[in-house]
Each structure stands twice: as structure tokens, then as C-alpha cells.
């Protein structure tokens, strides 16, 4: 559903605009019935909207001023001018401010219907096939601001994905720090060619779902951990939290009882829960993450096999070698020879912090 704000200073006209067509049948939710432009602007800034149908001749701030303020916010909301005056100058100014349409009073049901359909089609076209996805370059503040505006437009879709390109993360700009109540976002970390943004790998690493872009640094870390460890997060919050902990602490000693104590459950309960919701035992999962990260270190660094064994939690190099062969079907050195130096999923700054 798209959100629409209706504005008219005459109560009978406002009620008529709200009732002349079944807005919900056309895919619109009325976010506000406003008797003046200032009230409409306040609702727009606080709650957001995809479309605004506004009368022109209102005291203090008129409809054209309202549209101008909306466009100053760099918002892509579709604006429709409603006026009792068949005035070419008003229509010309409406086009200047990129109004979607201009309709005259007294309102005709068919005209309002057709205009609402046209606005919905424009919104659908603007959203495109990837309406659940926004692309962020973590070193480009403007991309955050664009993401915020798109997320505000697609807030009612079932999933929102923030795609992070393979550039270093420098932090969320203040202008992009928002909190979208009740909106689930998850990050996908992937590599793109600049020319066509084609995914080089054909897959991506995903974070757990979060609310709001304030959690973007954590989402990026979670997505990185997922990609480097080659796993997907469980839908169960405790299991996914344990997965993330293991994925960023794989170089440390990991025991089921210690993990259970950290997450305030018993060891037996954690073991059963983890197997049920991930398909692996805790230790099998930890070993998988260690092996996958060992492979990344072999690809992207010049560390020796012994150094990589130490960094991935293996004190015994022979045991590391056997575990690696079981996982990949070749020795660590053969793996390095086969895979090092090509186009890979992400550069080494996405490796676990302890490995930098």
C-alpha cells in the first residue's frame, strides 16, 4: 500500500476528496486528511508519504508552496494539484514542480480515479523490479541519503534489503541516521562491477534482520561474517546470535558449555536448539566457519599455513591439515595455488578483525 496525504482548507471538499474513490482498492492508504499545507507538511516530514493531493488556494502556505517544500526535501513523492480554477498559469507552475497531474473542481469521480491510477503506476515504475533493494556504497555519503529516501518509499514491503558494495565502511552519515519503526532491514554484502553493477559472484552474504540504518555497522559485520564463514543465519534469534559470535571469534577456544553460559542457557539445550535450527552441531558449525576463513586467508594473505592454523583456532598444524583436506578435498597449499589471485567475493578488509 502507498501512503497518500489529502489537503484542502474546505472541510466539505476534503471529505469529498477522501470519499470520491475507494483509495484502498487502488493501493493507497490515507495517511492524513489536512485542512492546511503546514499540517500536511508536518505529517509528511514525520510519517512520510508516497503521494500528495493538494488544493492550491489556501491561506498562509498555498498548495504550490507545499509542493515546492516537498521537492526541497529531495523526496520522490508524487504530487497532484487540485484547484477550482482552470488556470493555465497554475498548471504551468505545477509542471515546473514536477506535479504528476492537475485536476479541477468540481471533482469528477472518473478523473480522480484515473489520476490515482496514473500516480500508482508512476510509483510502481519508480520502485522497479528491485523494489525491496537499495544499494549503498559505504564510502559514499550520498548513497546513504538515497537509500533513506528509497527505504521510506518502500517501507510497507515485506522485506527490505540493503546491498552494500565492496568498498571500505566509513560510518553512517548523520543525515542518513533514521529509524523506521517496525521495518525489517537486512544487509547483503556483494561485489559489483561499476559499469553494470553485475554481481561478480552470483551470491551474497546476508546479515540478520534489523530495524533502521543506525544498525548498519552491525549489519555489515554480520554480513561479512556470513560470507567469510559461508553460512546463512538461522531464523531463531538465539541460534543466529550464537552463529554470529562463533563467526567473529572462530580463532578463540570455543566450547559448548562456555557458549551456553554466555547466552544464559544450558549446554544440552543449546546443543539441541542449535542442531534443530541450523542443521549442524555447534562444533561442526564452528569447524565449518574456521575452515572457510582459513580458505579466505589462504586466498588473500601471504600468511604461512601454520600462522593460518593458529589464527583459526588450531594449535595442532597436523590436525588443521587433516580438517582442511576433509573440507576442501586438497591440502592448504594446493588450495592456495588453485584459488589465490583471482576475482573473489570480497577484499581482505572484510576478514575477521583479529586477522587484519
Q: Residue 92: its pLDDT value, please?
A: 66
Every domain range in the chain assigned CATH 3.40.50.2300: 2-127
Helix (H) or strand (E) holding 134: strand 133-136
Q: What is the DSSP letter of 200?
A: S
Burial (CB count within 10 angstroms: exposed 0-12, middle 13-18, buried 19+), residue 128: exposed
Does an H or E element contain 278, and which? helix 267-278
pLDDT of residue 347: 33
Cell numbers for 234, please give them: 538461522
Count of beta carbons in the 10 Å neighbourhood of residue 101: 21
Neighbours of 291 (CB within 10 A): 20
Residue 342 has pLDDT above 60, yes or no: no
Structurally, at CATH architecture level, domain 230-356 sits in: Orthogonal Bundle (1.10)
What pLDDT shows up at residue 343? 37
The 10 Å Cβ neighbour count of residue 212 is 15
In percent, how much of the chain has pLDDT > 70?
74
Name residues whose C-beta falls within 8 Å of residue 344's C-beta, 6 or more positions apart in sequence: 191, 201, 299, 300
**DSSP three-state, residue 48:** coil
pLDDT of residue 192: 42
Choose the weakest-confidence range: 34-43, 217-226, 288-297.
Answer: 217-226
* Cell (9 digits) for 226: 556470513
H-run or E-run covering 78: strand 78-83
* Residue (of 54, 65, 41, 38) closest to 100 by Cα position: 54
User: In angstroms, rounded to a whole number, what is the distance separating the alpha carbons of residues 224 and 205?
Assistant: 7
Cα separation, 304 vs 153, whole angstroms? 50
Residue 317 has pLDDT above 50, yes or no: yes
Q: Which of 11-15, 94-98, 201-205 has the highest mean pLDDT?
A: 11-15
80-107 per-position pLDDT tens digit: 988 876 666 666 666 666 777 888 888 9
CATH class for the domain made up of 2-127: alpha beta
Question: What is the edge-to-edge ordering of all strands in the sheet holding 51-55?
Answer: 28-34, 2-7, 51-55, 78-83, 101-104
Radius of gyration of the chain (CA): 27
> Measured between alpha carbons, how far is residue 42 from residues 5, 223, 279 in Å?
11, 36, 50
Q: Assess whether pLDDT exceeds 80 at residue 160.
A: no
Start-end of CATH 1.10.10.60 domains in the chain: 230-356
Amino acid at each position: 500500500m502507498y501512503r497518500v496525504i489529502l489537503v484542502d482548507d474546505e472541510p466539505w471538499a476534503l471529505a469529498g476528496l477522501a470519499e470520491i474513490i475507494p483509495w484502498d482498492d487502488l493501493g493507497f492508504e490515507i495517511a492524513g486528511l489536512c485542512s492546511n499545507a503546514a499540517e500536511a507538511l508536518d505529517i509528511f516530514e514525520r510519517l512520510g508519504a508516497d503521494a500528495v493531493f493538494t488544493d492550491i488556494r489556501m491561506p498562509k502556505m498555498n498548495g504550490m508552496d507545499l509542493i515546492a517544500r516537498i521537492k526541497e526535501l529531495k523526496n520522490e513523492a508524487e504530487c497532484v494539484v487540485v484547484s477550482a480554477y482552470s488556470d493555465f498559469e497554475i498548471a504551468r507552475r505545477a509542471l515546473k514542480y514536477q506535479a504528476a497531474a492537475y485536476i479541477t473542481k468540481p471533482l469528477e469521480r472518473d478523473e480522480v480515479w484515473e489520476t490515482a491510477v496514473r500516480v500508482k503506476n508512476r510509483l510502481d515504475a519508480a520502485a522497479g523490479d528491485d523494489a525491496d533493494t537499495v544499494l549503498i556504497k559505504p564510502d559514499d555519503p550520498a548513497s546513504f541519503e538515497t537509500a533513506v529516501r528509497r527505504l521510506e518509499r518502500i517501507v510497507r514491503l515485506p522485506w527490505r534489503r540493503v546491498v552494500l558494495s565492496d568498498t571500505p565502511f566509513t560510518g553512517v552519515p548523520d543525515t542518513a541516521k533514521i529509524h523506521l519503526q517496525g521495518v525489517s532491514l537486512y544487509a547483503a554484502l556483494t561485489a559489483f562491477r561499476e559499469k553494470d553493477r553485475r554481481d561478480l559472484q552470483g551470491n551474497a552474504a546476508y546479515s540478520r534482520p534489523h530495524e533502521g540504518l543506525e544498525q548498519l555497522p552491525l549489519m555489515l559485520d554480520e554480513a561479512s561474517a556470513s560470507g567469510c564463514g559461508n553460512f546463512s543465519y538461522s531464523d531463531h534469534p538465539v541460534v543466529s546470535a550464537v552463529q554470529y559470535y562463533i563467526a567473529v571469534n572462530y580463532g578463540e577456544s570455543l566450547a559448548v558449555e562456555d557458549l551456553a553460559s554466555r547466552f544464559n542457557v544450558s549446554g544440552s539445550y543449546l546443543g539441541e536448539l542449535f542442531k534443530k535450527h541450523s542443521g549442524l552441531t555447534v562444533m561442526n558449525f564452528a569447524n565449518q566457519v574456521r575452515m572457510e576463513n582459513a580458505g579466505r586467508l589462504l586466498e588473500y594473505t601471504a600468511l604461512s599455513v601454520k600462522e593460518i592454523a593458529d589464527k583459526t583456532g588450531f594449535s595442532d598444524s597436523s590436525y588443521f591439515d587433516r580438517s582442511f583436506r576433509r573440507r576442501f578435498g586438497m591440502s592448504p597449499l594446493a588450495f592456495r595455488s588453485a584459488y589465490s589471485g583471482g576475482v573473489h567475493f570480497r577484499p581482505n578488509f572484510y576478514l575477521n578483525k583479529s586477522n587484519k
